[in-house]
Structure 1
């Protein structure tokens, strides 16, 4: 079985916004995977309506550095995979829906299933075109009657098997670079601090393989996610100017990058 990246869960929490504005009609929740999977998979999640919606619902997925697989419970035979995103994404959803998904921690899915992450960057694809065997296994899940709590035990069996027989062996130089970026909360100097024994060109190739984008873009998202985790108020953002300690040049730089990754201004996000 592969050894996990040390401390990844304590160093990085890929958060997604709540379903604010749905007036209690939409539920989003997460459950933990098996303990042996927790440094590879952040969570299993579900997003569903509690009652038919009167108005259109657009679910916003913010940039989190991860890859997800997901499916509508009415169609487990049509699972999708969403790659690394360098900006937020919005999904228009019908008046009734129930999605179940898996959020893999950075680098985990390409390692377990032998894909090149860059092939999926900023897009989603039918899982059967990427990992056909996994797609077939998910298609057998009767998620409509089982629900997330039962589906999570099925997921555990699938991914523990993958963890015992990964498609490739990890490159320690890549994981050392990821560890340094996470420990620095995305503020590491990529030229000075990532002393991993590889050239910038080689490091970019490794990040294309495992993450799907450059070390610089991944660092931006790590920095952004740490601000989300801190949950500052709009007032504390103005008073404490945490964007300086987070490595932004100035307030304008912070707001521009935040809007790209979140889809709204920091003031609106933390209202």
Structure 2
């Protein structure tokens, strides 16, 4: 696969995780760029930590972003997890004190780097030691509560650069082409008419699920949704009954229903947060 094809996903898709009222909840969320040589595979490293002891459980919502993440608690690196792509939002109840570190892979890139079908992980959050024991061991042996943020980034860069160097990347130009079309059209397309990449719709569907974790239809919904929330600032001036038009929908009730599934609340509440 040509290198410019690898760059296309990052240029066209910037998965967003909005953290509503994080400061009021006593949380901080930061994203860090990986080494430039990893930009084709890893969108970002991220850190979610409590700034104070949480006396009450905090409902932390992960919105659908089309990505696969590895994450672990810096204070307890013996436990690490792999979170597959999800076609809906996921909510975790956070308590006490925590300091989570995560690696967010761009769509298709986790499978290309690890050779593990993304469809096997869809809607799952699995212990790393059961799925990727080598990476789990690396995390367990190299991180602790004393590891500073800069060192975290350096350690992760070193590990994934070595993995990239020692891995023969198995990619598919037809999937890359299909992904380009979906992202360029911001998820607005007819699968059978617009994705002519040299495969039957059934063959393309199977390959797409293997590389991304879900169907073309679901991924396209997520792309539309992500583009909508990223343009949040420009949408705040619109009347509520115009939001669905800005998101590319012709039916307001369908838009609201789909948005709630992907975000966990209505678009009107999300724009106000």
Same fold? TM cut 0.5: yes
Q: How does 1:108-257 map to 2 (within 5 A)?
A: 108-166=109-167, 168-232=169-233, 235-238=236-239, 241-257=242-258
CA offsets per residue over residues 13-51 of structure 1, 9 Å max, x none? 100012415516111000100011112111100100111
1:55 alignment partner in structure 2: 56
2:12 alignment partner in structure 1: 11
- C-alpha separation in 2, matches of 1:248 and 1:33: 35
- C-alpha separation in 1, matches of 2:238 and 2:218: 23
2:39 alignment partner in structure 1: 38
Paired residues of 2:56 and 2:95 also in contact (CA < 8 A): no
1:104 alignment partner in structure 2: 105
- C-alpha separation in 1, matches of 2:45 and 2:114: 18
CA offsets per residue over residues 124-174 of structure 1, 9 Å max, x none? 101111111111111112241112221111111111122223354101111
- C-alpha separation in 2, matches of 1:105 and 1:75: 26
Q: Which runs of 5+ in 2 are unaligned?
A: none
Return the TM-score normalized by structure 1: 0.94
- C-alpha separation in 2, matches of 1:260 and 1:177: 25
1:78 to partner: Cα distance: 1.3
Q: Secondary structure in 2 aligned to 1:270?
A: helix
Paired residues of 1:46 and 1:99 also in contact (CA < 8 A): yes
Return the TM-score normalized by structure 2: 0.93
- C-alpha separation in 2, matches of 1:21 and 1:245: 27
Q: Secondary structure in 2 aligned to 1:213?
A: coil
| Alignment root-mean-square deviation, CA | 1.9
- C-alpha separation in 2, matches of 1:78 and 1:2: 37
Q: Secondary structure in 2 aligned to 1:79?
A: strand
Q: Secondary structure in 2 aligned to 1:76?
A: strand
Q: Secondary structure in 1 aligned to 2:45?
A: strand
Larger mean CA deviation between 181-190 and 217-226 belongs to: 181-190
Larger mean CA deviation between 241-250 and 59-68 belongs to: 241-250
